[in-house]
Amino acid sequence: MKLYCLSGHPTLPCNVLKFKSTTIMLDCGLDMTSTLNFLPLPLVQSPRLSNLPGWSLKDGNAFLDKELKECSGHVFVDSVPEFCLPETELIDLSTVDVILISNYHCMMALPYITEHTGFTGTVYATEPTVQIGRLLMEELVNFIERVPKAQSASLWKNKDIQRLLPSPLKDAVEVSTWRRCYTMQEVNSALSKIQLVGYSQKIELFGAVQVTPLSSGYALGSSNWIIQSHYEKVSYVSGSSLLTTHPQPMDQASLKNSDVLILTGLTQIPTANPDGMVGEFCSNLALTVRNGGNVLVPCYPSGVIYDLLECLYQYIDSAGLSNIPFYFISPVANSSLEFSQIFAEWLCHNKQTKVYLPEPPFPHAELIQTNKLKHYPSLHGDFSSDFRQPCVVFTGHPSLRFGDVVHFMELWGKSSLNTVIFTEPDFSYLEALAPYQPLAMKCIYCPIDTRLNFIQVSKLLKEVQPLHVVCPEQYTQPPPAQSHRMDLMVDCQPPAMSYRRAEVLALPFKRRYEKIEIMPELADALVPMEIKPGISLATVSAVLHTKDNKHVLQPPPRPAQPTGGKKRKRASDDIPDCKVLKPLLSGSIPVEQFVQTLEKHGFSDIKVEDTAKGHIVLLQEAETLIQIEEDSTHIICDNDEMLRVRLRDLVLKFLQKF
């Protein structure tokens, strides 16, 4: 059993598990932090961005000034943003049988894999994962395609040139494999390969293993996966949450008794408690708006935004913010808000019960109804006529490199009355802000990550007790910035095995058993014999039939009919010869009685010697030895077959046959 690790990002995993005869890809995350090296794509022409000076080498050489621009001491690539794909060279991805998706954030690299590697298998995911994943991809493609960029920078990627660049460009890894965003066509094609599954549904893969998605409590439709054969069980834990937010709670019990538990997708900000952060978010929002400033919340169009809107729903009246407009701008804003309301069966219990009242499960329906929350596909069109300040704007992309957020950063960045509040933990907010410097607006970092923290992980591992834990190497040591926090790492016994990008792990367990079925008529013919109380044995002669990784014992073909016609004879030619079955022997030979029997049968001059392993009965007259040991009996006589057969028959008298 092997694990191929294709991604180095612990929360955007992409691993391939070889288990029995199957090759299973676990998640397909896309590392988008690479886009932080690029200049933002402004939706509206930005004189500031277009007038940034080109970057030149220390010696004044300016051959890169078309590709690289400088802003407040940082250098950015002036090109269409590119993404860092999962490793494609480590394993032939066309051999992947299935891809299991655990949540919509972990499928963003799917089009790259399904459309460009010769992949012919099936992708499994829950319905909300697919639908919201589609929205995220659609938004991404839309953000990038609607700002066409004439040039595509590639000079800087040259290894010799990259070495000369300032950090972080100099240290960016595998820049040659970075790719531009996929197209909507590729998205559609990739999504068409997905087969929908429900929680606890058992899916047979070629009869070899069974895979089952379990609720993971992190997002709508998010799952952990169980991959099991009859005698082995691997659990794959991806983004999971034990907090009570909107999704169905996490199913922990089904993870018990795993041989291996692959642990990924823990919280990225283990020191920030989501509750505290939500409070912080609300306080800062109110503080800004009360001072007449605007609040910008860069976010994904689904996920935490639902919880934030719910908190604000409860908070705005009490904070006297009822007259402040909330805007949600995304090409998929409408679909996201509406989708959230129709996936009732994937929601937590409280929200499910609302559906039967019937009421919309999320209160943002009421915010929309009362005109407190308005949503727009883009800042062009209706939005510009409705726009009123001070206001709160939720919009993407959290990287601040593309999407409507770029415009608001340019618009509001100059006033210290305004605030940008970062809630998504995926990007370093300082790096995200770098191309907007100098910036007057206030920046607040309130990362809200509801995924498991290390305390919860340690409780979970105690509860489910896997034999082995496998996790990204980042989880086996404290974060570099807090090296004294020994509590911020996975602590289990035996210690977790760690992996890093482009590494192949041999998982530490051997398969020892395989299940074989016996056909009923064959089973019927068995004659068990009790060897010891409670243990019976039976010999079985059968043909082992293996198909689709299932093993079946079938009755052996009947021996050829002696009077058969030509046709039959021919048929019997095909089947292998069936030798006459020799009986199996068991039991032990009591030496004294055996000697007596020999004497009764006319042998005399018998001598018995004890050896380390048993006895030697010596027939001196016949110059013959009978060597009796625990697990064998040998008759050694000199070319006297008659004598040997006689002695053999005497030995057999003492043994059981079956």
Partner 1 sequence: MDPECSQLLPALCAVLADPRQPMADDTCLEKLLDWFKTITEAGSSLLLLQENPCLVELLCHMLKPQDLSSRVLSFSLRLTGVFAAQEDCFQYLQQGELLPRLFGEAGPLGGAAWTAPTVRSGWIQGLRSLARHPSALHFLADCGAVDTIFSLQGDSSLFVASAAGQLLVHILGLSMQGPADGPPSLQAGDWPACAKKIVGHIEESLRSTATPQITQALNVLTTTFGHCHDPWTRVLWVRLSPLVAGLLEKDPVPAAHSLVDLLLSVARPQALRAQAFAVLLQPLACVLKATAQAPGASGVLDGTVGDFATVDTLLPSKAACVGLLCRTLAHLELLLPLPQRPCPWPQAPLLGAAVTLLQLCQGSASPTSDTGHHLCALLLGCVRVQRAALDFLGTLSQGTGPPELVTEVFAVLLEYLRSPDSSPTVLKKAFQATFRWLLSSPKTPGCWDLDPQALLFLRELLPVLQKRLCSPCWEVRDSGLEFLTQMTGRWGGQAGFRHALLASEVPKLTEQLLRDPESYVRASAVAATGQLSSQGLCISPASPEHPGGQQKSPLSELLHILSTDSEGFPRRAAMHVFTQWLRDSHADVVGDTEEFVAGVLQVASQDLDWEVRAQGLELALVFLEQTLGQPGSPCPYAVTPPVVAPACPLAQALQPLCRVRLFEFAFRALFDCDRPVAQKSCDLLLFLRAKMASSSSPQEARSSPDVASVEAALQRWQAGDQAQPLGDLEPEVVLAVLKSMDLEGLRGALAESSDHVEKSPQSLLQDMLATVGILGENEADCY
Interface residues with partner 1 (CB under 8 A) are: 271-273, 276-280, 282-284, 286-287, 290-291, 311, 314-315, 317-320, 446, 482, 484-487
Q: Which is nearer to partner 1, 410 or 424 (CB)?
A: 424
How far apart CA 91 and CA 4 sit, in angstroms, is 8
Q: Which residues contact 144 (CB under 8 A, 6 or more apart)?
A: 41, 80, 81, 180, 181, 402
Shortest Cβ distance from residue 39 to partner 1 (Å)? 33
Q: Which is nearer to partner 1, 38 or 306 (CB)?
A: 306
Q: Which is nearer to partner 1, 484 or 566 (CB)?
A: 484
Q: Which of 376, 379, 374, 434 is nearest to 404 (CA)?
A: 379
Q: Which is nearer to partner 1, 199 or 315 (CB)?
A: 315
Q: Which is nearer to partner 1, 316 or 589 (CB)?
A: 316
Q: How far apart are the first and last CA of the chain?
A: 40
Shortest Cβ distance from residue 280 to partner 1 (Å)? 4
DSSP assignment, residue 36?
Answer: G
Q: Which is nearer to partner 1, 287 or 542 (CB)?
A: 287
Q: Which is nearer to partner 1, 110 or 311 (CB)?
A: 311
Q: Which is nearer to partner 1, 118 or 276 (CB)?
A: 276
Shortest Cβ distance from residue 487 to partner 1 (Å)? 4
How far apart CA 420 and CA 414 sit, in angstroms, is 12
How far apart CA 124 and CA 122 sit, in angstroms, is 7
Cis geometry, peptide bond prior to residue 397 (ω within 30 degrees of 0): yes
Q: Which is nearer to partner 1, 271 or 546 (CB)?
A: 271
Shortest Cβ distance from residue 332 to partner 1 (Å)? 28
- Alpha helices of 25-94 — where are they, by DSSP H? 47-50
Which residues are paired to 543 by β-bridges?
Answer: 554
Q: Which residues contact 358 (CB under 8 A, 6 or more apart)?
A: none
Q: Which is nearer to partner 1, 232 or 280 (CB)?
A: 280
Please say whether the beta carbons of 624 and 643 come within 8 A. yes
Shortest Cβ distance from residue 365 to partner 1 (Å)? 21
Nearest 5°: CA angle at 430, between 38 and 149?
15
- For the chain, give me the number of helices (H) and strands (E)? 18, 35
Shortest Cβ distance from residue 198 to partner 1 (Å)? 36
Q: Which is nearer to partner 1, 169 or 286 (CB)?
A: 286
How far apart CA 304 and CA 388 sit, in angstroms, is 25
Shortest Cβ distance from residue 370 to partner 1 (Å)? 17
315 membership: H or E segment, kind and range: helix 304-318
Q: Which is nearer to partner 1, 291 or 588 (CB)?
A: 291
Backbone angles phi, psi at 262, to 5 degrees: -95, 120
How far apart CA 307 and CA 243 sit, in angstroms, is 12
286 membership: H or E segment, kind and range: helix 274-290
- Strand 223-228 versus strand 233-237 pairing type: antiparallel
DSSP assignment, residue 521?
Answer: H
Integer angstrom CA distances of residue 158 from 61, 67, 79, 177, 612: 16, 12, 15, 12, 76
Which residues are paired to 22 by β-bridges?
Answer: 19
Q: Which of 36, 183, 194, 195 is nearest to 112 (CA)?
A: 183
Shortest Cβ distance from residue 285 to partner 1 (Å)? 8
Please say whether the beta carbons of 214 and 225 come within 8 A. yes
